[in-house]
Structure 1
């Protein structure tokens, strides 16, 4: 992959919520590395700590034990995309996409140009001056993706970004994200419930156990890049999805 060091490295990462005697072990101990330019998908049963892992990576939560290190060359290396879009209803689409650039104090003209470039790439050029309330769910999520990518993050963190969308739209946005991330080679940690999504997008798919979440399996989908959504119809895809489902089912159903 070029660089010898992982972009993200978690070592013995653990997170406990609450105070004794009412503590909940949410995560870990968990070890994880993500190489530069790698797209890693994490799947696991509900409540296994997937989002907790992402929030620690984003700096929104502290680990209870262990470490999570991001090797970065910029002060704000990560951009996060949430399931509920996380965009501001009172800002125009362009102002939303420009938001991270404004925080970084990028000059207005350059920030507008970069925002407009990402809006064009995500098919939103006609909605530059619209407000999010007038957009569909899929378009709102495209705005969130444009906002995250406009800052050219070293690490993209995505927390079930397509979970709220209907199946057809979800497939379209998976394919768009596949194109974008293959073009930008942005290092990505992507949380999802959907095995199909993980296999379409990921260089690696990690399976987490029930809470407290640990990584119990790792698969490398055998589909060379650049790949397209057409891999969904291959027998290998169906077989791997079945294999992962067996693993997940065991975790989702308590013994």
Structure 2
């Protein structure tokens, strides 16, 4: 039996900003394939095009050359979670989580039920009628995660979603996300600067070069699923983290 068709595939993908003589080549050429149900983490030096890749996948940017395609069965297959939450201050927590369902014209009763189910899964049921301004940063990011997953996306795009949080809260949300994605098996492309985060969450960890970003290395964390946070204590985890850190250090020097 052959390999499944990729859920996401990029071929010869590039992105340039501006015009000559001041043009900046931000990305590529880049080749990438993400299988259905796979969680792929992308790490690389600052400014290497990681977020640009996600924004092209989300349809927020067009590639300069090459293609990026998503093998989808719905007209809006991707949901994106940003570092700055991207939730609406004037909507309640429930209304924020329901927002994507409202856009899809899901009947209100069904939309409320699906939103409430995700509020329960993310520990936010008691805050359904609260407004984001009353929530902590971690709770607001839980709202963003619940909103993205409530629409049952075929592809989840995450752009450093925990970068603004303190270390303890970041660890908690990493473990919560690990449980959620292992339960849903949602295909995910996750950008992060944290090697520990990438190794904990990812089926694959891709390393990008300094700008213009290309994939220069690929690692498969040797930890079977279902996976728990205990893998952080494994010698293999420490060794792979060290190897990735050294590779990124060399790229940062050339950036």
Give the TM-score category using the shorter length: over 0.9
Match of 1:39 in 2: 39
1:140 aligns with 2:145: no
SS at match of 1:253: helix
In the alignment, which residue of structure 1 is the partner of 2:206? 206
Provide closer, same or farther for how the CA distance between residues 118 and 2 of structure 1 changes in structure 2, counting only shifts above 3 A. farther
Aligned alpha-carbon RMSD (Å): 1.1
Equivalent residue number for residue 55 of structure 2: 55
Task: Give the 5 Å matches for 1:71-110.
Answer: 71-110=71-110
2:113 is equivalent to residue 120 of structure 1: no
Partners of 1:131 and 1:199 lie apart in 2 by 34
The 8 Å contact of residues 41 and 190 in structure 1, kept in 2 or not, is answered as yes
- In the alignment, does 2:225 pair up with 1:231? no
Q: Find the counterpart in structure 2 of residue 11 from structure 1.
A: 11
Counterparts of 2:3 and 2:220, CA distance in 1 = 20
- The structure-2 alpha-carbon separation of the partners of 1:241 and 1:143, relative to structure 1 and needing over 3 Å to count, comes to same
Contact 1:3–1:36 (8 Å) recurs in 2: no
Deviation at residue 233 of structure 1 after TM alignment: 1.1
Q: Secondary structure at the match of 1:206?
A: strand
Query: C-alpha displacement at 1:2, in angstroms?
Result: 8.8
Give a deviation string over 1:185-220, Cα, whole Å, max 9, x none: 000000000000000000000000000000000000
Q: What stretches of structure 1 move > 2 A for 4+ residues in a row? A: none
Between the aligned partners of 1:223 and 1:3, the Cα distance in structure 2 is 21
Give the match for residue 111 of structure 1: 111
Alpha-carbon displacement from aligned partner over 1:204-250 (angstroms, at most 9, x marks no partner) = 00000000000000000000000011101111100000000010000
CA, structure 1 residues 105+2, in 2 after alignment: closer, same or farther (shift >3 Å)? farther
| Residue-pair matches, total | 255
In the TM superposition, what whole-angstrom CA distance separates every residue of 1:121-178 from its partner, at most 9, and x where no partner exists? 0000000000000000000000000000000000000000000000110010000000
Instruction: Find the counterpart in structure 2 of residue 167 from structure 1.
Output: 167
Contact 1:175–1:228 (Cα < 8 Å) also in 2: yes
> 1:4-38: per-residue Cα shift (whole Å, max 9, x none)?
20000000000000011110000000000000000
> CA shift at 1:253, angstroms?
1.1
Q: Residues of 2 paired with 1:43 and 1:112: CA distance?
A: 36
| Equivalent position of 1:131 in the other structure | 131
> Which sections of structure 2, spanning at least 5 residues, go unmatched?
none
SS at match of 1:211: coil
TM normalised by structure 1 equals 0.99
Q: Is the contact between residue 58 and residue 79 of structure 1 (CA under 8 Å) also seen in structure 2? A: yes
Q: Any gaps of 5 or more consecutive residues in structure 1?
A: none
